Each structure stands twice: as C-alpha cells, then as structure tokens.
Amino acid sequence: MADKMTLEKFEEACEIVGKVTNKTGLMYSQCFSEQTGNKVYLKPENMQLTGAYKVRGAYYKISTLTAEERKKGLITASAGNHAQGVAYAAKKFGAKATIVMPTTTPLIKVNRTKNLGAEVVLYGDVYDEACAKAYELADEHGYTFIHPFDDLAVATGQGTIAMEIFKELPLVEYILVPIGGGGLATGVSTLAKLLNPKIKVIGVEPAGANCMQASIKNGKVTTLPTVNTIADGTAVKTPGSKIFPYIQKNLDDIITVEDDELIAAFLDMVENHKMVVENSGLLTVAALNKLNVKGKRVVSILSGGNMDVITMSSVVQQGLIFRDRIFTVSVLLPDKPGELARVAETIAGVQGNVIKLEHNQFVTTNRNAAVELRITLEAFGTAHKNQILDALEKGGYQPKIVRTSL
C-alpha cells in the first residue's frame, strides 16, 4: 500500500498500469496553438478503454490490495468514470465490485459500468451523497472501499499520465489538469515536480464547483454548500483531505471555467479534432485562453469522453446558439399573400438558411395589421447574423431577437 508518493512508487505504477491502458499519445493542436499563441498538445485520455483516465488509479490501487481485501468485495462511489475504472479493474482481478453513483449520472456511464460486471446502486444528487452511501454499505457488508480521489495509491496511478507526457515531450512547460476531488491533479503535479521542479502545473475547475480553489484560499479542506455545473465528473463539494497537502505544495495555480465556455470548447473539439470529450475533460481546453503566457509548450489533459447522446445533442445545440450559428428572430408583417415570400427573399439575399418557421396570427387583435413570424436561422457566426438582421431592418421588418427553441 502506498503510504506516500515517491518516484519509485510512480515508476512501479507505470509498469503495472501499462498492462491495462491504451497508449494515448500527445496530439499537437494546430487550431488551439493558433488561438492561444502557445504550442498546445492534447493528452487524449478519452481514448482509454473505459473512456477515461480513471482506470489508471483504480487498477494500481487494487493491485496494492491483499488477496483477502479483494475477496471481501470492492465498493466505491463515482460520478461515472471511476466507476468504470473500478469495475474493469475488479473484473481483471476476479473481484466483486459494487458502485454507488449519483442519480444524475449520464445513462451511458451507468450502463457501461453494469456491462463491466459491477452492481450499480443509484443514490443522491451529487457525488458526496453517493460517497456517504458507499461508506455505509462498506460498513454493512465488509467491502473494501476504493476512494475515487482521496487515496495516495489511486493518485499515484493517475500520475502515470505525467510520466507519459514527459517521455513524449521532455521540454513541456505547462500542464493543465482538471480538478474534481483532486486525485488526478495530485498525481500529475507531484510527479511533474519530481521530474522537473520548474514546470508549471495548473488545475482547472468548473466555476460552479470550485472546491479546491476555495480550500487553497482558506488554507484547509473546505466544503462548498452546493455545486452547479454541467461538468458532472467534477461536481464535487469537498476535495480530498489526504491529498490536499500535495496539492498545496505542487499545484501552481487554479483556473475556473464557466459552463458556457465548456459548451464552446465542446464545439471546437468536435469541429477541429473530430473527438467527443465530456464536459469535465474540456476544462483544460476552455482554460487555454486564460493562460497569460505565449510561446510555451502546453499540454491539456482531456480526462474523459463518456457523454450520453442526449447531453451531447443539447451541448451542440447550445454551442451553436452561443456562437451565433443558430438564432431566432421575430418579425411583424401584414397577413396578406406574398409577405412570407418577401421575407424569404430578403434572408436568401444574404445567404441566411431558414431551419424553422412559426406563424402566429394572434399576436394582435387586428391580424390584418400584423402577424408574427418567428424565423430560426443558421448563420456562419456573429458577423453573418448581424448582416441578416441589417437586411431585415432595411426591408422594414424591425427584427427582434427572441429565445431559440429547437
């Protein structure tokens, strides 16, 4: 059992973890490099067999257990990715696994965890509530608890990512790492500083779940009253107490990211890299524009890609609206033949693409005076949207932007 994090432990973990992980080589990002003025590389842990980096810590932790501890059965709490990591690792070691997951966990993560042979218990709205239930079940049945982040062996396993980064890019200067409870950030920052004390390791949290930032500011582990973020994998109220001293020592800074920025990052990743990365994994991409440096070698760790189709479609839709690629405009026009055709011609004249029309004759008591036409359009971006609005204004329609509902 790892009682402290040493270079020897990390080297041992690399050898053990290498047996069950896919090689996730660094990808140079031309588009993010051009956007930021840095040399940006992506570490695509979303390409792991379980869809996330979590299998590293889970497998290494279980490898350090005694046969007796494994025989008792394993239990953990997870928002999804650690669940799959533990389920997969337990199967490899021939151990029974029970996973407690928040009721808000995406269906894809629940089903994949079940498919790996684990028993799933859905409980609570956030990770912290699921974790309390898991401890309760561990006491009741004598299971061995595998903590998703507040465990030095788990964090050591996660830190193997840093070893791979250094082997591939020895002159790396910045590493961006997502933070939920802090296990990944602990492992990566600790090993990175052991290999190169001058490197900068920056943690990234959702603005609505910044428990580590609050803890560092207060100088002690701090529990947030609530969390609110679309990054479900990092929606944690309380960071780990065992790993907190390592974070205090080795993490150089923490950046927070708003949900809107994650939505934009999802769109960028799909369109420019043809990859699906979940919201928590996109924290390090959204944070790239917040680094106040230029010309540096930067690695963004993409922690996972387990996103269900419904969430994905919602994020894409919101991303297109956020980027002014889809918008809805309301115009009033007389209820007489030819008016709709005239509006359509005006929009076509500036290459606008109509994707939805709503015609409301009851917007005024005198429908001959005016009826409302709500037009949902596809545009190339903000400049094109403004061009369409200008054309409608010149056509005498007095366009008004309204909320888009697809």
Q: Which one of 54, 61, 109, 200 is the catalytic residue?
A: 54
In terms of domains, do 293 and 342 share one? Answer: no
Given a cut of 80, is residue 25 above it in pLDDT?
Answer: yes
Paired tokens of 186: 């602990």
Range of weakest confidence among 46-60, 288-302, 304-318: 304-318
**Angle at which helices 7-17 and 55-63 cross, to 10°:** 100
* 313 domain residue, yes or no: no
In terms of domains, do 92 and 172 share one? Answer: no
**Domain CATH number, residue 389:** 3.30.70.260
pLDDT per position as a tens digit, 84-108:
999 999 999 999 999 999 898 878 7
* 1 domain residue, yes or no: no
In terms of domains, do 168 and 32 share one? Answer: yes
pLDDT per position as a tens digit, 244-303:
999 999 999 999 999 999 999 999 999 999 999 999 999 999 999 999 999 999 999 999
> What per-residue confidence (pLDDT) applies to 235?
87
| Of the candidates 372, 384, 365, 304, the residue with the CA atom closest to the CA atom of residue 339 | 372
* 39 domain residue, yes or no: yes
In terms of domains, do 167 and 269 share one? Answer: yes
> What per-residue confidence (pLDDT) applies to 385?
96
303 labelled catalytic:
yes
Mean pLDDT of 320-331: 92
Return d(Cα 129, Cα 277) in angstroms, integer: 26
* 318 domain residue, yes or no: no
Residues whose CB is less than 8 angstroms from the CB of residue 365 and which lie 6 or more positions away in sequence, other chains included = none
* 152 domain residue, yes or no: no
Higher-confidence residue of 131 and 127: namely 131
* 151 domain residue, yes or no: no
In terms of domains, do 223 and 304 share one? Answer: yes
In terms of domains, do 165 and 293 share one? Answer: yes
Last residue of a domain, one of 260, 276, 308: 308
Last residue of a domain, one of 117, 145, 173: 145
* 2 domain residue, yes or no: no
In terms of domains, do 177 and 262 share one? Answer: yes
Return d(Cα 182, Cα 152) in angstroms, integer: 11
In terms of domains, do 170 and 291 share one? Answer: yes
In terms of domains, do 376 and 258 share one? Answer: no
Higher-confidence residue of 314 and 158: namely 158
Mean pLDDT of 28-39: 97
Expressed as residue numbers, the domain containing 203 is: 7-48+160-308
Count of domains observed in the chain:
3
Q: In what order do the strands lie in the sheet with 353-360?
A: 353-360, 371-378, 326-333, 400-402
In terms of domains, do 64 and 118 share one? Answer: yes
**Domain CATH number, residue 241:** 3.40.50.1100
In terms of domains, do 241 and 349 share one? Answer: no
In terms of domains, do 172 and 299 share one? Answer: yes
Q: Which one of 29, 193, 303, 385 is the catalytic residue?
A: 303
> What per-residue confidence (pLDDT) applies to 353?
94
* 68 domain residue, yes or no: yes
Mean pLDDT of 303-323: 88
Cα R_g (the chain), whole angstroms: 25
pLDDT per position as a tens digit, 139-193:
999 999 999 999 999 999 999 999 999 999 999 999 999 999 999 999 999 999 9
Last residue of a domain, one of 278, 308, 338: 308
Given a cut of 70, is residue 364 above it in pLDDT?
Answer: no
